[in-house]
Structure 1
Amino acid sequence: MASIVRMPEIAANAESATLLSWEVEGGATVHAGDTLALIETDKATVDLVAEHDGTLSHILAPAGQEVAVGAAVAVLLENGESEEKAQTLLASLSAENVSIAAETPSRAEASCAQPAESLTHRQFASPLARRLAAERGIDLRGVQGSGPNGRVVKRDLPQAASQPAATAAENISAGSSVRTGANEHAAAVRDAIIRVPHSKMRKTIARRLSESKATVPHFYLDAECRAGALLTLREQINGSIDGKISINDLIVKAVACALRDLPEMNVTWAEEDMLHYRDVDVSVAVSTDKGLYTPVLRQVEKMSLTEISHTMNTLAQRARDDQLSPNEYQGGAFSISNLGMFGVSRFSAIINPPQSAILAVGAVQRVPIVVDDQLAIESVVKCTLSVDHRAIDGALAAQWLSRYTRYIEQPWAMLV
């Protein structure tokens, strides 16, 4: 039967999402599973799909609009149903304080189409292909898609990279529909200042981190870990396997082992109780051109180093491709932020609520230290643990950091 297509709750507790673009026009015939529109949350871009075969008779929310979760965005008729069914549904929406003019499909299409562009000229493309095309200046309207129903996918872009990009004037006059990404919105230049509107993700990051610093009582503990044995173990492992284990993989393993040993650290604060987690799920910060993602590795205490490496590489690539699903970046009580690859020696990180702690890891550096009353040069990695004092006391955090340091300095202990 005819149904109202509503904005789904893609991420837990999300109140709204941005309807980036419509992938079909009003009055078009669709099949179950077809992508109707692209939706952007603070962390991902996902497809809004048709739940059954039918006709998209009315589009109720224009592209580019932020829509509340549960709000009506379209009407989908089943095959063979009349326009009267759609009008009945539209009338029922008045009870939800939604003011929608009863329009024919062609009028609905005209009122809800993206600015200056007829949807009949849209080239269907995957979210990843749209982002890559925007980055490379490729006009998707001239790309022949090899995906289902001629949809442009990532593999279609390399051969199109040599095509000349449309000029700004052409894009304005033609109403280019290429999705430029949340942090690449149109910028207005006034005098010597370029104003770039905040993306939904950037707004969310700013809000959550501001709330964290304002409401979570942070305290910080520092440690300098001798990393010579860790580097030796890594070299030995990489000399005996096909893949490569990174320093970060070993750090993830050390964190997981320390959390396994001290489960009192594997908790989060709630207003009425403390949440204790049976599994050790660790978030790892991944920087992308869109913002910071924190994909979660599940049950890390049970994973081998090669499993950690493979899972981390997969999640990091999915984050860079803007393909993470909510269950891949939500959860866990602990995060790792490693800036060592940028040469940073030491820094403090902000806790990612509702988690209780985050470990900031600097670069492995050769420095002078005193060993057995003798001056020596050794490889050292500096780490700073940020802790939520509501959930974890100082003595417990110090025990955990000592245990973590032992695993870094005696890494063979992680493997037995």
Structure 2
Amino acid sequence: MAIKIEMPKLSDTMEEGVIAKWNISEGDKVEAGDVIAEVETDKATMEVEAFDPGTVLKILVDEGDAVPLGGIMAIVGEEGEDISDLLKEADSANGESSSEDKSEKKSSDKEKKKEPSDKKEFDPILEGVDSGNGKEEKEEVDEETDQTDDDGRIKASPLARKMAEDKGIKLSAVDGSGPEGRIIKRDIENYKPSDAKKEGAVQAPSFASEEDEEIKISQMRKAIARRLSESKFNNPHFYETIDIDMERAIDARVALNEFSEVKISFNDIVVKASAMALRKHPEVNSSWLGDTIRKHGDVNVAVAVAIDEGLMTPVLNHTDKKTLQQISTETRELAGLARDRKLQPEQMEGSTFTISNLGMFGIEEFTAIINPPNACILAVGAIRDVPVVKDGEVVPGKRMKVTLSSDHRIVDGAKAAQFLNTLRTMIENPLAMML
């Protein structure tokens, strides 16, 4: 009996999946547990396995096509089995015509385009031309109206172009008298070198138009657009920025890396300091649930990782209880999985706070959109060399700006400021994080 292979739900927020790659072809034999396809969801690229053995009788969608949840992707059964009923069901479930129908439709469309139209269109150049005029004059008019250049080139009729080429005349030196300044036959016949534009006159350069490119939106980009639009317009954001003295953090990092088996980054220090500050300020470590506010018992910090398709936010669970070495090791491992699109959904769920760091790109200060259902997100800028005043003298200093975006339904301005001051204390006094 033939069996449908349907699009499974591979993440909690998934609404449809895109076939990234088929690992099978029609006629192949599959066993239960074989990985038959890779499907791109809104969070990651996941493998889809066959649950039943059989022969692949039909693949109903191409690579790159989106399939709704429950949509039929392929049919497996016994070789030679009649699957016509399942094909009709697949057309209905997927909401589109079968591949054969689509092929026929394309052929039909092409034929329609080739069919000449009997309808005569109004031609402003031919308007008023007497049908009794000489044949030569009408042929000239037809020739001159034969072509219009819309690609940025000089507009000229084919006959005028040929005449100019034969006479060695540059079209750029000829003023056109035809419609929209088009150069026609009489312009070439009447052209005199003295009519050319004066030598040394500045002419506006002519550029050919570049082709636009349309990029198909990935499932991840769709999810990012939907979630962040909802966050920005539904959550009342406000922003607070502080400037942090990084001199002690720089010295502490150098000392730590002399003994640490893994390299400690400034981002690791910010993550650890934020986690400890969240423990002291549970209002910031909260979520809005409509009728209630949930103050999370665990501190789970998500770290934004940039990939080609957008951003992924792997989560460090129990961040406040981990050492800097553990944070560094886990962050690098999760970031690598994110860039390879191998993060599992459970590795991106359960965050209570998010950190986005653009300091490595030289960005000094920015604001970030809250990652729901978090109450806040911290935007971290670059460490800057700036003049500062110490003991009444201007001396070189190291500063880093961080901006906290907060959901005003959960966090008030004073609470956000208290959190930022605790964070600054932690970073400016790294030994406090060791207690």
Question: Which TM bucket (shorter chain)?
Answer: 0.7 to 0.9
CA–CA separation in structure 2 for the residues paired with 1:35 and 1:343: 43
How many residue pairs get matched?
A: 330
Q: Aligned letter for 1:337?
A: S
Deviation at 1:264, TM superposition (A): 2.1
Matches for 1:14-29 after TM superposition, within 5 Å = 14-29=14-29
CA–CA separation in structure 2 for the residues paired with 1:250 and 1:348: 20
The answer to whether the 8 Å contact 2:236/2:409 transfers is yes
Q: Aligned letter for 1:384?
A: T
The alignment status of 1:379 with 2:398, answered yes or no, reads: yes
Structure 1 unaligned blocks of 5 or more: 112-189
CA–CA separation in structure 1 for the residues paired with 2:300 and 2:227: 20
Q: Structure 1: which 4+ aligned runs deviate by more than 4 Å? A: 86-101
Render the CA deviation track for 1:199-256: whole Å, top value 9, x for unaligned: 2233332333233222211100111111111111111110012321011111110111
Instruction: Determine the structure 1 residue equivalent to 2:426.
Output: 407
Aligned Cα RMSD in Å? 2.7
Q: Aligned letter for 1:225?
A: I
The alignment status of 1:193 with 2:211, answered yes or no, reads: yes
The answer to whether the 8 Å contact 1:90/1:100 transfers is no
Matches for 1:116-135 after TM superposition, within 5 Å = none
TM-score between both structures, scaled by the size of structure 1: 0.72
Render the CA deviation track for 1:319-351: whole Å, top value 9, x for unaligned: 111111112223312111111111221111111
Instruction: Determine the structure 2 residue equivalent to 1:57.
Output: 57
CA–CA separation in structure 2 for the residues paired with 1:96 and 1:205: 27
Q: Aligned letter for 1:314?
A: E
CA–CA separation in structure 2 for the residues paired with 1:21 and 1:390: 44
SS in 2 for 1:202: helix
CA–CA separation in structure 1 for the residues paired with 2:411 and 2:72: 44
Cα 1:225–1:207 shift into 2, 3 Å? same
CA–CA separation in structure 1 for the residues paired with 2:244 and 2:75: 60
Instruction: Determine the structure 2 residue equivalent to 1:74.
Output: 74
CA–CA separation in structure 2 for the residues paired with 1:2 and 1:226: 68
The answer to whether the 8 Å contact 1:267/1:356 transfers is yes
Instruction: Determine the structure 1 residue equivalent to 2:38.
Output: 38
Deviation at 1:2, TM superposition (A): 5.4
Instruction: Determine the structure 1 residue equivalent to 2:335.
Output: 316
CA–CA separation in structure 1 for the residues paired with 2:406 and 2:94: 45
SS in 1 for 2:350: coil
Matches for 1:5-404 after TM superposition, within 5 Å = 5-77=5-77, 83=81, 191-200=209-218, 201-404=220-423
Deviation at 1:384, TM superposition (A): 0.5
Deviation at 1:95, TM superposition (A): 8.4
SS in 1 for 2:212: strand
Cα 1:97–1:290 shift into 2, 3 Å? closer
CA–CA separation in structure 2 for the residues paired with 1:316 and 1:34: 28
Percent identity (aligned) = 41
Cα 1:198–1:211 shift into 2, 3 Å? farther
Deviation at 1:94, TM superposition (A): 8.3
CA–CA separation in structure 2 for the residues paired with 1:246 and 1:29: 50
CA–CA separation in structure 1 for the residues paired with 2:27 and 2:428: 65
Which has the greater radius of gyration?
A: 2
Instruction: Determine the structure 1 residue equivalent to 2:199.
Output: none
Cα 1:291–1:373 shift into 2, 3 Å? same
Render the CA deviation track for 1:235-291: whole Å, top value 9, x for unaligned: 111001232101111111011111112222111112232233221111111112232
The answer to whether the 8 Å contact 2:67/2:94 transfers is no
Q: Aligned letter for 2:81?
A: E
Instruction: Determine the structure 1 residue equivalent to 2:202.
Output: none
CA–CA separation in structure 2 for the residues paired with 1:391 and 1:227: 30
The answer to whether the 8 Å contact 2:305/2:313 transfers is yes
Structure 2 unaligned blocks of 5 or more: 105-207
SS in 2 for 1:264: coil
SS in 2 for 1:46: strand
CA–CA separation in structure 1 for the residues paired with 2:286 and 2:80: 55
